[in-house]
Structure 1
Amino acid sequence: MVDGILLALAAACTVYFVIIVVYAGIGTSFAFIWLFFAALLVFLVYGKWYYSRNMIRIPGWVPVSIVTTCVAGVITMALLCFLVFLGAASPQEPGLDYVIVLGARVKEHTISDSLKKRLDRAIDYAQKNPDTYLVLSGGKGKDEPVSEAQAMYQYLVYNGVRPEQLLLEDRSASTVENIAYSKVVIERHRDKLRLEREEREKRQQGPEALFKRNGGNYLVVDDKPMEIGVLTSSFHVFRARMIAKKWGFSHVYGISAQSDPVLFVHLCVRECASIIKDRLMGNM
């Protein structure tokens, strides 16, 4: 019974690998993990068969260690997938101060399907929240004609988003850099807005100025906590939010764009590996 289940799962992993290659190409990132899973499952079936015939020669700690490692791996993967799914289901928070729109690959004459889905989500949010600034984050890769930020800007403006609502960050090459460089852009923009506000206040006359002056000195009023959103593909929301919190954003909300339905499971598994990597590297 157990052997049959493991072999069926191995076959399913192999079939899914073929689907990924046919659908998205052999160069799809991390696609060979499914062949690894298939080989591991077959190895477990063979190991179980071999152990049943050589129990006397094989120490008991060997099968116990293998089973414990596999169970721990399955539990870890399940927990990480749950967190990824939880991020994908994040409710949309209205009225945020800034929304960081994470870039994705730009092709020679068009944008990728993943980036289009993110931008269409950004258009919807911008129309419903005209006072929110969108930070378009993404640098220029070696095989990209323009920076991802510039391509996003052109797409959004063409589709009716006001240019003054858009801020560009065009240096980043990873999710960590997306957040780090976007933070610099946001801080500079907030400083600019603060200076403009102070200049307006100095020119104001009448009752509105009473709360600003007291004995000839300006009263400093704390700004409300800054609220930002991170808009990215659904499978990517959890990690992006955790990285943003690591970089000092205390009020962070995820905004989920649709992911490719065929590749969604693969993207979630790949994202689990990225979560582990970023956690070990101290990025989140």
Structure 2
Amino acid sequence: MTILWAVFAIVCIVSGGTVMSMRTGSSFYLFWFASGLFFLILSIAAHFHCWALLPKKIRAGILVLVALGAIIFAVIEGCILSGFHQKGKPGLKYIVVLGAQVFETRPSRVLRYRLDTAVDYLKENPETICIVSGGQGANEPRPEADVMAEYLEKAGISSERILKERKSETTTQNISFSRKLMKEEGSVAVVTNNFHVFRALQIARKNGLKDVCGIAAPTSFKHLPNNMMREFFAEVKFWFDR
């Protein structure tokens, strides 16, 4: 167990360094460093046989909590995976593309996946209106919606089909602010990365969108483990905030 926990510690620390180097604008890399420290402590404790020193009832209680946590984690991750292949449906009135980090003249890779997916849908459904949703974060030079609209226009989408929501800072605001731009009720799809679809649809329904579906954009493999873990905690927070 000493070696096993040490390996986990190394994996977590390397993951944290990798996520930090990506400069995603999120501080979630700290979770990986904290996890690495936790597993390092477990490794040291295993080396000195500290587990055997604990009373049996305490050991049993810890094992029950670990098992319960593993079950909850597996269920939530399964729900997240259920949104991975949603493609929406043809002829939607609106699609809402959720924002993500942007740079001066271009969207981040994560956001490009969303925008490229939106472009494909909009070209196949020429009557659909697109709402690009995202404000300006502290680490961003411009509102996300402005960069997103420019990207869509360069890809051949008419500006007349694009509405910009430029104030939101969270997914909840993305949805609620975008809804105010909808001149009439109609079918809506939320376009976001696959790991985010499940929670985004929950938020959409909570904010009153009834005829809503998801359109899942891909995610780069190297970003996926971090995003899946981050989404787990976001989903837990969503349920506590209800």
Q: Determine the C-alpha separation between the residues in 1 that align with 2:13 and 2:63.
A: 22
Q: Percent identity at matched positions?
A: 31
Unaligned stretches of 5+ residues in structure 2 = none
Aligned-residue offset at 1:51: 2.9
Alignment of 1:99 onto 2:95: yes
Matching residue's letter, 2:184: R
Alignment of 1:40 onto 2:5: no
Q: How does 1:218-257 map onto structure 2 within 5 Å?
A: 226-257=186-217
Q: How does 1:106-117 map onto structure 2 within 5 Å?
A: 106-117=102-113
Aligned to 1:149: 145
Partner of 1:63: helix, strand, or coil? Answer: helix
Aligned to 1:280: 240
TM-score by length of 2: 0.89
Partner of 1:88: helix, strand, or coil? Answer: coil
Q: 1:67 to 1:95 in 2, by over 3 A?
A: same
Aligned to 1:13: 12
Aligned-residue offset at 1:72: 1.8
Q: Determine the C-alpha separation between the residues in 2 that align with 1:28 and 1:174.
A: 13
Aligned to 2:184: 190
Q: Determine the C-alpha separation between the residues in 2 that align with 1:102 and 1:21.
A: 23
Aligned-residue offset at 1:20: 2.7
Compare CA radii of gyration and give the structure with the larger one. Answer: 1
Q: How does 1:208-219 map onto structure 2 within 5 Å?
A: none
Task: Work out whether residues 105 and 147 of structure 2, in 8 Å CA contact, stay in contact via their aligned partners in 1.
Answer: no
Task: Work out whether residues 193 and 217 of structure 2, in 8 Å CA contact, stay in contact via their aligned partners in 1.
Answer: yes
Q: 1:276 to 1:132 in 2, by over 3 A?
A: same
Deviation per CA, 1:16-59: give whole Å up to 9, x if none.
2333334x14965311222333333344455552132x2xxx43
Partner of 1:32: helix, strand, or coil? Answer: helix
Q: Determine the C-alpha separation between the residues in 2 that align with 1:147 and 1:272.
A: 27
Aligned-residue offset at 1:136: 1.0
Q: Determine the C-alpha separation between the residues in 2 that align with 1:8 and 1:145.
A: 40
Q: 1:40 to 1:92 in 2, by over 3 A?
A: same
Alignment of 1:178 onto 2:142: no
Aligned-residue offset at 1:141: 2.4
Aligned to 1:62: 58
Q: Determine the C-alpha separation between the residues in 2 that align with 1:27 and 1:127.
A: 31
Task: Work out whether residues 135 and 144 of structure 2, in 8 Å CA contact, stay in contact via their aligned partners in 1.
Answer: yes
Q: Determine the C-alpha separation between the residues in 1 that align with 2:25 and 2:141.
A: 20
Partner of 1:10: helix, strand, or coil? Answer: helix
Q: Determine the C-alpha separation between the residues in 1 that align with 2:228 and 2:24.
A: 18
More divergent stretch after superposition (92-101 vs 234-243): 92-101
Q: Determine the C-alpha separation between the residues in 2 that align with 1:164 and 1:25.
A: 34
Aligned to 1:124: 120
Q: 1:163 to 1:108 in 2, by over 3 A?
A: closer
Partner of 1:231: helix, strand, or coil? Answer: strand
Cα RMSD, aligned residues only: 2.2
Aligned-residue offset at 1:249: 1.3
Partner of 1:190: helix, strand, or coil? Answer: coil
User: Which of residues 153, 156, 165 is equivalent to 1:169?
Assistant: 165
Partner of 1:230: helix, strand, or coil? Answer: strand
Aligned-residue offset at 1:137: 0.8
The size of the alignment, in residue pairs, is: 240
Q: Determine the C-alpha separation between the residues in 2 that align with 1:232 and 1:272.
A: 16
Q: 1:126 to 1:30 in 2, by over 3 A?
A: same
